Amino acid sequence: MEGRLRILLLSALCMPCLWSATALAAEGGTDQAAAQQVIQPQIDRREVSIDEIDSEDFEISVFGGLLSTEDFGANAVIGARLAYHISEGVFFEATYGRSTTTESSVERVYGGLPALTDSGRILSYYNVSLGYNLLPGEAFVTRNWAFRTALYVIAGAGSTTFAGDDRFTINFGAGYRFLATDWLGLHIDVRDHVFDIDVLGYSKTLHNLETTAGLSIFF
Amino acid sequence: MLLAAIPAQAAEEYALLQVADPFIELHTGPGVGYPVFHVVDRDDFIEVLKRKTDWFKVRTADGKRGWVARAQLEKTLTASGENTHLQEPALGDFSQRRWEFGLLGGVFNNAAEISLYGGYAFTANLSAELSGAQVLGDYSSSYLLNVNLLSQPFPRWRVSPFFSLGGGYLSTRPRTTLVPPKDSNDFTAHVGLGLRTWLSRRFILRAEFNRYITFSSDDNNEEFKEWKAGFAFFF
């Protein structure tokens, strides 16, 4: 049905071209009247400009997984991301994530006063990163069924709020994007969040590894 | 499957183009690496369904769907027989931009800074901006809110310098591990200069230097230097 309609549409559009060609060939000949009878465009086609085409360069996603906070356990993390794809290779991404950490070994073994208040135990972070689709490709499920995928690398900077303070944080990692359709993606991400902390009485650099899975929508 | 469900009226809304080159190539995905699985010959029609970055998903008359690079799509004719032309932002649009939004990273008084801003251009030479920044130091973290007035003497240059003048509010909170932690909230004023460069399409590269003075409540004014650079987009 759809095919027939398209043929009809295409013929309606082709006819003026054909007609002008015929008219030229005939050079004022007698075919014009006959041609005019054939051309009866039935459909008023609105011409759609190529600049009005729907573009899908933004990607919004939610994710969940595990964030290992050095000294404070590996805990559930949830968050959201917004990405903008500049080209087929490069994209920007802004991320917000949140996790509730648990007691450190020091607090458990030696007892006494807790090192952090309840609100101080909540770790939240935001960052802005630049990503690159290092290995774009396709995953072949069956002979005629393939999905687009990409292995990407990503790095950026941001802030982590933990133990009552905001800390400058570098993040880097890699991820795998599996596109179920043009607009729906599945992500698996591994990131390292690096920042300095002095909450246990001395300053040290933490490497907090995060593994997440997410779902994204392109729009 | 989804497309089949779309009623016929909706299908008519896609742009219809006629191939003018000997052929154009259909890739399986929106990228140069995805294999070419089909070619559409000259004079055949294609419908343009959607776009991802510089790639266009098209449908041929016999229902094949694939991705065409922008450069090839421009080698087609529109339904009215004109050359297909994509209105992409160019240097001229950069000179006449109205809105600008960006993200800058840098150093404020030897501490890392992340800053977000939005601006509106009243004329080609004069614009106003609002920016928010977080400064993350070893001993404190601050939020900085600024209002800027920017003067751009050479708006038509691809690399265009600007001067800025403004005021703001700096809220600093020392680390909780420091004794005694005492917050400070001060008004600030700043002057600065910087450069904007048009990259491509809607993207700008921007770098700037500002000098701040804070009006402390204890009459002990301080001066800070700020360097920052980053990306912005305009429309």
Whether residues A85 and A183 fall in one domain: yes
pTM, full prediction:
0.79
Whether residues A147 and A166 fall in one domain: yes
Over residues A130-171, the pLDDT tens digits come to: 999 999 999 999 988 899 999 999 999 999 999 888 899 999
To the nearest whole Å, the CA of B28 is away from the closest chain A CA by: 9
| Set of chain B residues whose Cβ sits within 8 Å of the Cβ of A5 | 8, 11
Whether residues A114 and A12 fall in one domain: no
**Does residue B174 have a pLDDT over 50?**
yes
Tell me which chain B residue has its CA closest to the CA of residue A47.
Answer: B15
Q: How confident is chain A (219 residues) per 10-residue block, as mean pLDDT?
A: 49 51 45 52 59 87 95 93 93 95 81 75 94 94 91 95 90 96 95 87 88 96
Nearest to A130 by CA among A87, A160, A98, A168: A87
Peptide bond into A114 cis (omega under 30): no
Query: B9, B18, B28, B51: which to substitute to probe chain A, counting the most A Cβ within 10 Å?
Result: B51
To the nearest whole Å, the CA of B136 is away from the closest chain A CA by: 5
Window 97-116 of A: residues touching B by CB (8 A cutoff) are none
Whether residues A211 and A179 fall in one domain: yes
Mean pLDDT on B205-231: 89
Q: Which of B11, B29, B105 sits opposite A2 (nearest CB)?
A: B11
Q: What is the per-residue burial (b if ≥16 Cβ within 10 Å, else e) of B178-195?
A: eeeeeebebebebebebe
Nearest to A46 by CA among B47, B44, B79: B79
CATH of the domain at A81: 2.40.160.20
| Set of chain A residues whose Cβ sits within 8 Å of the Cβ of B57 | 182
Contact A53 B32 (CB under 8 A): no
To the nearest whole Å, the CA of B15 is away from the closest chain A CA by: 5
Which amino acid is located at B190 in the chain? H
Whether residues A190 and A162 fall in one domain: yes
Whether residues A31 and A123 fall in one domain: no
Whether residues A134 and A40 fall in one domain: no
Whether residues A191 and A96 fall in one domain: yes
Over residues B37-46, the pLDDT tens digits come to: 999 998 888 9
Q: Which of B2, B45, B177 sits opposite A10 (nearest CB)?
A: B45
Q: Which of A3, A87, A196 sits opposite B63 (nearest CB)?
A: A3
Whether residues A106 and A169 fall in one domain: yes
Window 32-71 of A: residues touching B by CB (8 A cutoff) are 43, 45-57
Q: What is the DSSP letter of A45?
A: P
**Rounded Cα–Cα distance for residues B133 and B145 (Å):** 6
Q: What is the pLDDT of residue A41?
A: 52
Task: Kindly list the structural domains of chain B, giving each domain's residue range(s) and its CATH number in brackets, ordered by start.
Answer: 2-78 (2.30.30.40), 92-234 (2.40.160.20)
Whether residues A35 and A118 fall in one domain: no
To the nearest whole Å, the CA of A149 is away from the closest chain B CA by: 10
Over residues B107-117, the pLDDT tens digits come to: 999 899 999 99
Whether residues A87 and A15 fall in one domain: no
Number of domains in chain A: 2
Q: What is the DSSP letter of A119?
A: G
Q: What is the extent of the structural domain holding A140?
A: 58-218
| Set of chain A residues whose Cβ sits within 8 Å of the Cβ of B33 | 136-137
Say if A159 is an interface residue toward chain B (CB within 8 Å).
yes
Whether residues A96 and A34 fall in one domain: no
ipTM of the modeled complex: 0.81
Tell me how many residue pairs between chain A and chain B have CB atoms under 8 A apart: 124
B54 forms beta bridges with none
Over residues B51-67, the pLDDT tens digits come to: 998 899 999 999 999 99
Task: For helices A2-26 and A31-38, give the axis angle rounded to 10 degrees.
Answer: 170
